[in-house]
Amino acid sequence: MSATPRSSPLVPRSDTSRGPRTEPLILGVESSCDETGVAFVRGNTLLGDVVASSVEQHARFGGVVPEVASRAHLEELIPTITRACQEAGHRLADIDAVAVTSGPGLAGALMVGVASAKALAWSLDKPLYGVNHLAAHVCADVLDHGPLPEPTVALLVSGGHTNLLLVRDIASDVVELGSTIDDAAGEAFDKVARVLGLPYPGGPHIERAAADGDASAIPFPRGLTSRKDLERHRFDYSFSGLKTAVVRWVQEREAAGEPVPVADVAASFNEAVADVLTRKAIDACEEYGVHDLQIGGGVTANSRLRAMAQERCAAAGISLRVPRVRLCTDNGAMVAALGSQMVQRGLAPSSLDLPADSSMPVSQVKAE
- Which of Zn ion, ligand KG4, none does 336 bind, CB closer than 5 to 8 A by kind? none
Q: Which stretch binds Zn ion (CB under 5 A): 62-70, 253-261, 278-286, 329-337?
A: 329-337
Of 294 and 329, nearer to ligand KG4 (C-beta) is 329
Binding-residue pattern over the window 286 to 325 for Zn ion, x denoting contact by CB under 5 A: ----------------------------------------
Interface residue with Zn ion among 330, 335, 356, 364 (CB under 5 A) is: 330
Q: Shortest gap between Cβ of 137 and Zn ion (angstroms)? A: 6
Distance CA 87, CA 49 (A): 7
Q: Shortest gap between Cβ of 334 and Zn ion (angstroms)? A: 8
**Which residues from 146-185 bind Zn ion, rule CB under 5 A?**
158
Q: Shortest gap between Cβ of 115 and Zn ion (angstroms)? A: 20
Element at 164 (helix H, strand E): strand 162-169
Q: Shortest gap between Cβ of 206 and ligand KG4 (angstroms)? A: 6
Does the footprint of Zn ion cover residue 187 (CB under 5 A)? no
- Which of ligand KG4, Zn ion, none does 151 bind, CB closer than 5 to 8 A by kind? none
What's the chain's length in residues? 368
User: At how many degrees (to 10) do helices 202-210 and 303-316 cross?
Assistant: 70
Q: How far apart are the first and last CA of the chain?
A: 33
Q: Shortest gap between Cβ of 178 and ligand KG4 (angstroms)? A: 18
Taking residue 15's Cβ as centre, other Cβ atoms within 10 Å add up to 12
Q: Shortest gap between Cβ of 300 and ligand KG4 (angstroms)? A: 8
Question: What single string gives the DSSP state of each residue in 266-321?
Answer: HHHHHHHHHHHHHHHHHHHHHHHT--EEEEESGGGG-HHHHHHHHHHHHHHT-EEE
Of 95 and 262, nearer to ligand KG4 (C-beta) is 262
- Which of ligand KG4, Zn ion, none does 37 bind, CB closer than 5 to 8 A by kind? none
Q: Shortest gap between Cβ of 28 and ligand KG4 (angstroms)? A: 16
Q: Shortest gap between Cβ of 95 and ligand KG4 (angstroms)? A: 26
- Which of Zn ion, ligand KG4, none does 186 bind, CB closer than 5 to 8 A by kind? ligand KG4
Quick check: 244 and 280 in contact, CB under 8 A? no
Of 69 and 209, nearer to Zn ion (C-beta) is 69
Secondary structure class of 60 (helix, strand, coil): helix
Torsion of CA 213, 214, 220, 226, to 10 degrees: 140
Residue among 299, 265, 268 nearest 281 (CA): 299
Of 294 and 302, nearer to ligand KG4 (C-beta) is 302
Give the binding site for ligand KG4 (CB under 6 A): 33, 158-160, 186-187, 189-190, 201-204, 207, 297-299, 301-302, 329-330
Distance CA 139, CA 204 (A): 24
Residue among 63, 139, 61, 60 nearest 99 (CA): 139
Binding-residue pattern over the window 238 to 267 for Zn ion, x denoting contact by CB under 5 A: ------------------------------
Number of H helices, E strands in the chain: 13, 10
Element at 156 (helix H, strand E): strand 152-157
Where on the chain is the footprint of Zn ion (CB under 5 A)? 158, 330
